[in-house]
Amino acid sequence: MVLRFKIKDLLLTVLIYFGLAQTGFAQNTDKHCFKTGADRPELYLPQLRNKNIAVVTNQTGRLADGTFLIDFLVKNNVKIKSIFAPEHGFRGDADAGEHVKNGTDSKTGIPVISLYGSNKKPTPAQLKDVDLVLFDIQDVGVRFYTYISTLTYLMEAAAENGVEVMVLDRPNPHDGYIDGPILKDKWKSFVGMHPVPVVYGLTIGEYGLMVNGEKWLQNGVEAKYTLIPMLGYHKTQRYQISDKPSPNLPNDLSINLYPSLCFFEGTQVSVGRGTDLPFQIYGSPWTKNLPYRFTPKPNFGAKDPFLNGKLCFGEDLSNEKRDLRELNLSWLLKAYKNYKNPAQDFFLKNLFFDKLAGSDELRKQVIAGKTEEEIRDSWKKDLEDYQKIRSKYIIYTD
């Protein structure tokens, strides 16, 4: 069943959906019944006929047999005017923050337009003669991972230009729980646009529903939004994803550790970019009391990694077996406690850490020597308030 939402009938649509679609979700507990939105073409292909389409996708936009969504659409005679590429590019091989160039897909000849750098939001010219934008990207369910920001800007531009947005839903590797501090308005940026916790517990399709429903788009505009839901998806289960979502999240463990380790990106501590274990280790030249040693060097995923060529001391988490269902602050607090460098503060001068955390509160708590328990207690009320918002947009069983 296709889910199409406007604010005034959101609740009614959800109620109808749950009344009619129980066989689509609640009863399909067998993992072999699972399908992503992309693998339900019977729901979306009829809606693409005789329309001019733009597609936002990357290397994760694949069907179960490995076929790229773009190739599948072309084979089915869908008229694609352009491909919009998010951070890391259409093929997913660009570094974090690296400029992604416009170009042409060599296989199909379709123009590729970057939605990163100075052009994060599609322009009216780029949406001219486009009837519908199809969005299919594997997210990781963490606030500072930028694909939800790309979706937000897309929805905003589409609403302003009378273009429909259709999202093919995919699993969230951090679904079924929420955790971390809530972003405050003053610290909005491309790595955090909305008042949600670090781990927000929604699929990317559900997240789009929330952005629309809470009127978080600029000037309160609403996108014409259609969600192609997954089949047999349950929020507390974990599903194999189609491809690594970005160069430095190469496996399930790195994705698992990402919400906890990404805070180091705002500090003088490396998260292993430029090694074989990105987001599975951490360390710094100035944390010499920690046991693990590594030296970042340029590689495919990091052409000029942070602390390039410097011997770092830290911890190796690559044998971590737990499926973390909470944000772990112990590594951040341990690194801060062991950091010895009188010439440079632990936190970067640009205070990028505050953007990642969503405010300056976590940084001040770390400096003040607060315990992990004390810090987590300070999040409780905000998380309870967010849960009330989140619950309105959940369409899959927990």
Residue with tokens 């089949």: 231
Based on the fold, state whether residues 194 and 211 are members of the same structural domain. yes
pLDDT score for 101: 56
Residue with tokens 């987001």: 279
Q: What are phi and psi of 60, to 5 degrees?
A: -85, -10
What does the block give as tokens for 289? 């009391």
Q: What CATH number does residue 87 fall under?
A: 3.40.50.12170
Q: How far is CA 1 from CA 17, 25, 35, in A?
A: 8, 11, 13
Based on the fold, state whether residues 86 and 41 are members of the same structural domain. yes
Based on the fold, state whether residues 212 and 273 are members of the same structural domain. no
Residue 209 identity (one-letter amino acid):
L
Based on the fold, state whether residues 168 and 271 are members of the same structural domain. no
How many Å apart are CA 355 and CA 358, to the nearest integer? 5
pLDDT score for 10: 44
Q: What is the CA radius of gyration of the chain?
A: 21
Total domain count, the chain: 2
How many Å apart are CA 92 and CA 250, to the nearest integer? 11
Residue 376 resides in a domain: no
pLDDT score for 94: 41
What does the block give as tokens for 340? 């010895």
Domain that includes residue 361, residue range: 252-367
Based on the fold, state whether residues 225 and 351 are members of the same structural domain. no
Based on the fold, state whether residues 155 and 104 are members of the same structural domain. yes
**pTM given for the model:** 0.90
Based on the fold, state whether residues 106 and 213 are members of the same structural domain. yes
Based on the fold, state whether residues 43 and 182 are members of the same structural domain. yes
Give the residues across from 199 on adjacent strands: 142, 179
Residue 192 resides in a domain: yes
Using DSSP's 3-state secondary structure scheme, residue 19 falls into helix
Each residue's pLDDT, cut to its tens digit, for the chain (398 residues) gives 677 665 444 433 333 333 333 323 233 335 568 999 999 999 999 999 999 999 999 989 999 999 999 999 999 999 999 999 886 556 544 444 444 456 888 788 899 998 887 889 999 999 999 999 999 999 999 999 999 999 999 999 999 999 999 999 999 999 999 999 999 999 999 999 999 999 999 999 999 999 999 999 999 999 999 999 999 999 999 998 888 898 899 999 999 999 999 999 999 999 999 999 999 999 999 999 999 999 999 998 899 999 999 999 999 999 987 677 889 999 999 999 999 999 999 999 999 999 999 999 999 999 999 999 999 999 999 999 999 999 999 999 87
Residue 374 resides in a domain: no
pLDDT score for 141: 97
How many Å apart are CA 203 and CA 138, to the nearest integer? 9
How many Å apart are CA 351 and CA 263, to the nearest integer? 11
pLDDT score for 91: 53
What does the block give as tokens for 354? 């505050």
Residue 167 resides in a domain: yes
Based on the fold, state whether residues 81 and 198 are members of the same structural domain. yes
Where do the DSSP E strands lie in the chain?
Answer: 3-5, 52-57, 79-85, 103-104, 111-114, 132-136, 164-168, 225-228, 281-284, 292-294, 312-316
